[in-house]
A and B are shown apart, each in its own frame.
Chain A
Amino acid sequence: MSTLIKIPENQPDRSVFSYKEAIKKMVKIRTAEIFIRDSFWDEKIFSFLHLSIGQEASAVGVSIALDTKDLMLGNHRSHGHYLAKGGDLSKMIYEVFGDRRGCCKGYGGSMHMLDKSAGFMGTTPILGSVASIGVGQSFAYQMIHPKSVVVVFLGDGASEEGTFMESVNLAVNKSCNIIFVIEDNKYSVQSNKLDRRSKYYSHKLLFEGLGAMYFRENGQDVEAVFNATSNALEFARKGRPVVLHLDVLRSHTHSGPILETKDESYRDKGDTIISRELNDCILLASNKATSKGSSKNAIKSWIETEKADTLRVISKVKSKVEVRSFD
């Protein structure tokens, strides 16, 4: 007889938002991704890369609203989801470098993050595939944790896939505890959603029509994401699937270690480098934390400490990396 996967319950449940925690998590993700980006060519990483630099708030805001026992699945752009959920930083860096000490022993690479001990159940980069896999994991997991939730991240392009519509219907049909998070950066590679959809297109009508709850929020605002997720959890924990639509800003090219340094023609008129810098999620969170009473020095200290701690771990890993071969 097979045995159901069990997730360790070694951390307290989360329900209170803290700017300190949120900012530190976002800095950790950004520091790790900037390291990967800047090492990519010199270190010959050559693991197909999708960066979330600038949009870490969606991963972090969702994650800190979850209980440890809740599970998460991601897509092609999931370094942030993995680290936000508590995935092991060293194993992620080893994995990206193709070392056997990586979270997938070097077989997966950047697009395959996994840390079951943190409830991070894997990432799979084929558009929309992960949605139904999340439904199945939720169906199974509810048997042992009836109030726990599975969170599935996918992009706005994947949200147009037929299999995603099917998955939402199936999740509602089977009363799964699941939240589908659409990270909407407006572009599928470079295809603008204005070119992909008619003017009548409505996620709200689609997903509410399938019986799910649908909420939309500014994904650059980490506290707003936390609150939206907490609200979504009220439904999802009772078997009412939720589609949580978060608007995010992608600062880099779709793939590769490339920061866009000029305003590209595929982007909307208002989506400029300056607007993305002004809406950087760490900057926004720092400003809001200040307005809520945290001192600028304290915030600076959180950022610098977290950055130093992260780089210390990365530096240790980097000094030991050995690119694996077949056994």
Chain B
Amino acid sequence: MINYIEAINKGHNDGLKGNSNSYIIGLGVNYDNGADGTTKGLSALYPDKILDVPVSESAVTGMCVGMATMGLNPIVHHGRVEFALYAMDQILTQAAKWNYMFGGEYPCRFSARLNIGRQWGNGPQHTSSYNSLFANTPGLNIFWPSRPKEAYNFIRILHHVRSPAVHMEHRWLFKTTDNISESVEIGQVQTAAIYGEHTHADILIVTYGDGLIEALKTKEKAADKSISIICFTAFIKNRVLDKKLVDLICTARRVIFVDTSNYEYGILQSILGSVSGRNKINGIVKVFSPPFLPVATAAQLVKEYYPTSPEIVKYLFEEGEVNSMSGEYTFDEINLPPEFDFSNHKASYIINEELF
């Protein structure tokens, strides 16, 4: 059993072992507790592959793009997505378009690890996700590992990609634990996890990233109901949704979207639009998401911001779907990263093999 940080670390260790042309580059990644511990100890094992750099997000990311166009597999780490905004030219305009604009025989094996989302006290400028910036850019592959075993698998993939990838890491998940013994082949990308019945759901929760914990807690609370969860974990290449997922969304009696980032024009609203634009959704749709505001810093305001399982259960109670409500979250549950154990939560995955 290992936590999310350890899973990333192990993914890197295995990735570096598997590709001697791969690098990890970023501020302090070679330090004892580098990149929040995710690169801890790697510098001792691979001293030439773990590179500290100046505080120059744009140039450092561009350097990685340059390396990636020469056949290397650099992984740049940005400790907050807000810092990576300095590097957006390199990610969106250079890396994502490189192979296409040069005619298709000039791969850019670039990847970026970006920390996103909530953490206590981080306030308006350290908690964004900007998912749709990346999702709306052709040429980028995006990973949102929602549990440690997915993080382990995706990190290993970053060491081998042939087209640019962005690894979106919800810091809220860093203390969650999991069993990573069921690793998948490098070429098999898990694009979505389905928890529960995967051909038809009475109640369906659609989420991604750290929304999964709230979805699983809700599923547990309403154990007597047929609740399934779709947790999106990666957008590969052309963003076409798997038919199985579309069918699940269209046929459920009630579809609940749980987004811990701003919903408006974000990932889940896009998915809803993509599905409803081409299909008829039969059930009632309900959205749980933050208000369309930045995150405030004060703990009490944070409580009002993120969607929680008790809030979702309350809705289901009011709709007559469950018999009782959940207790409200404590201060710690609202503000401290959960030590949630995923190991007993089995998922079936939609696998995409087009990445390589």
Contacts and interface: CB of A to CB of B under 8 A. Distances in A.
Given A135-B62, A136-B66, A163-B62, A112 B102 contact: yes
Contacts, number: 132
* Most A-side CB within 10 Å, residue of B61, B63, B65: B63
Given A136-B66, A163-B62, A169 B56 contact: yes
Contacts of B18: 1
Interface in B231-275: none
Contact of A163 (B19, B59, B74): B59
A139 B63 contact: yes
A124 B94 contact: yes
A141 to B, nearest CB: 6
Given A4-B72, A104-B102, A132-B59, 19 more contacts: A3-B21, A4-B71, A103-B103, A104-B101, A112-B101, A126-B94, A129-B93, A132-B60, A133-B63, A135-B59, A135-B66, A136-B65, A140-B67, A140-B71, A163-B58, A166-B58, A167-B56, A170-B53, A170-B56
A126 B74 contact: no
Interface stretch (A62-70, A114-122, A294-302): A114-122
A138 interface: yes
B73 interface: yes
Contact of A170 (B20, B54, B102, B160): B54
B90 interface: yes
A129 B104 CA distance: 20
A4 B21 contact: yes
Interface string B74-107: 1000000000000001100110000011111010
Interface of B: 18-22, 51, 53-54, 56, 58-74, 89-90, 93-94, 100-104, 106, 109, 160, 162
Contact of B106 (A102, A114, A138, A139): A114
A231 B53 CA distance: 29
Contacts of A112: 101-102
B102 A126 contact: no
Contacts of B65: 132-133, 136
B59 A169 contact: yes
Contacts of B89: 126, 129, 163
